[in-house]
Amino acid sequence: MQHYDVIIIGSGLGGLVCGAILSRHGYRVCIYEKNRQTGGCLQTWSRDKVIFDSGVHYIGGLAPGENLYKVFKYLGIYDKLRLKRMDMDGFDHISFAGDDKVYRIAQGEENFIRTLLADFPGEEAALRAYCSKISEVCSKFPLYNLRTGDYEEKRSVLQLNTADYLRSITGNEKLQQVLAGNNLLYAGVAEKTPFYVHALVVNSYMQSSWKCIDGGSQIGKLLCRQIREHGGEVIRNMAVTAIKGEGDRVDHVVLQDGSKAQATHYISNLHPAQTMAITHSDVLRSAYRNRIQGLENSVGAFVLNVALKPRTFKYLNYNHYYHASDNAWAGIAYKEEEWPQTYAMYVSASSKDETWADSLSVMTYMRYEEVQPWRHTFNTVLQTGSRGADYEAFKEKKANLLIDCVEKQFPGFRDCIHTSYVATPLSYRDYIGTGDGSMYGIAKDSADPLRSMVSARTKLSNLYLTGQNLNLHGILGVTISGVITSAELLGMGFLVDEINQSIYT
């Protein structure tokens, strides 16, 4: 049986960050990935000679001195990334049905305030209060600031609800909605989303927003290179089918070809519920399993990926968020007959042309129940399977509805489409291995913050978790999850010091 120091199950960003950190510290790491391509949601795919992202449309915190910059620099990948900074005066444009204005979310605190003041001249106090609250809340999350600290620091802000907070700073309902206008970024639910989730996500983009030129898979590929250069292995097309416990430890994992592999430590990058489902151990009592498996997930996504006809659609160096009512939170609780109620348009940055776009993605919500009729089907490039003609008809109908909606803000859009490809919650379920194709994993609730908190440690002493369900989703959140999990082996103080020191070397 193969023996490693660390076996990592899944090569999503969290698994790769752990692999890169631990391999550079001399651990013999092996990552098993079920897909042909590494990276999980970092994967890109190409059709009609254009590249599509599956789950990274823009990234925050990457300017020199910022949090993600520091970690990526430490990981040895920053200097090789091909990035494009988005519009300083509006990286996100927010629009609402029945309102001709487009509201711009700008980079840099003063610029952000100045830009919105043009639309809300009497709201300077509210905008300043909002920015200082964001800074205050972010300062309470030690690792977000790449320092050590403890849970007590953040306890006081965990129960603050985003929509409530926005109502508290201004009576201007339009401004409240504009500030929540890009909540597709965290699948916001008005009565649930904690303000800390809003603050950590929005703050990183307000500091600096970037697109990956030619797609986000470069992050995964660079991390794999780092892992291999440090003696680690990344084995693709190899699912882990079981984690076998003995006493209070994992003894080995079983691979899809029936072989076994052993390590001193095991890290699962899978959704915790999927990890539980494949873990065989008496130590995991049913109360623990039930808690993990009963956690509510965020909703799924429906993504229309469009290859554009040449020179028909200009490259937009910003994202466009649209709401079909004056309520930015309403789109997630859509009635099927009124779908879609919101969308985000992300135009891809290509190295081929800076003026004209060659592809874009339009993302909106879709509940898993809508694709339930085809839940027994499975389809990936590695394991192809037809979901049937009725599924194709469903996708086409939905794509047309979404295109009709986009047409209202971008007249002529339909004529720019060369071809389009649709991803539904089933696509994400099959490629990523989640149970229900959820976009961002476990949903957070300001009324019960502890319930959704998952620790990197499990009841098995050598099994750890990592990835978006641990901490926060997104490239920044998951990178920090990778640091948290790696720190279980290396020590948090040591690792944080090392990351902070590395930018001076």
Q: How far apart are CA 156 and CA 150, in angstroms?
A: 12
Question: How near is the Cβ of 440 to ligand FAD at its closest, in Å?
Answer: 6
Smaller CB separation from ligand FAD, 11 or 170:
11
Helix (H) or strand (E) segment spanning residue 220: helix 217-229
Helix (H) or strand (E) segment spanning residue 72: helix 67-74
Phi, psi torsion values for 293, nearest 5 degrees:
-75, -15
Question: How near is the Cβ of 217 to ligand FAD at its closest, in Å?
Answer: 11
Q: Which residue's CB atom is positioned nearest to ligand FAD? A: 12
Which of 59, 5, 12, 57 has its CA nearest to residue 30?
A: 5
Question: How near is the Cβ of 169 to ligand FAD at its closest, in Å?
Answer: 26
Left (φ > 0), alpha (ψ -120 to 50) or beta: where does 488 sit? alpha
Question: How near is the Cβ of 219 to ligand FAD at its closest, in Å?
Answer: 9
What the block records as the tokens of 252 is 């080995």
What the block records as the tokens of 273 is 């519920």
Residues that bind ligand FAD (CB under 6 A): 9-15, 32-35, 40-42, 55-59, 239-240, 269-270, 301, 303, 363, 428, 432-433, 439-440, 467-468, 473-475, 478
Whether the CB-CB separation of 298 and 443 falls below 8 Å is answered with yes
Question: How near is the Cβ of 301 to ligand FAD at its closest, in Å?
Answer: 4
The amino acid sitting at 448 is D
Helix (H) or strand (E) segment spanning residue 262: strand 260-268
**What pairs with residue 423 in β-bridges?**
303
Smaller CB separation from ligand FAD, 10 or 449:
10
Q: In what order do the strands lie in the sheet with 59-60?
A: 59-60, 209-212, 83-85
Smaller CB separation from ligand FAD, 107 or 170:
107
Smaller CB separation from ligand FAD, 57 or 252:
57
Q: How far apart are CA 198 and CA 215, in angstroms?
A: 25
Question: How near is the Cβ of 320 to ligand FAD at its closest, in Å?
Answer: 14
Smaller CB separation from ligand FAD, 116 or 475:
475
Question: How near is the Cβ of 25 to ligand FAD at its closest, in Å?
Answer: 20
Smaller CB separation from ligand FAD, 90 or 433:
433
Smaller CB separation from ligand FAD, 59 or 463:
59
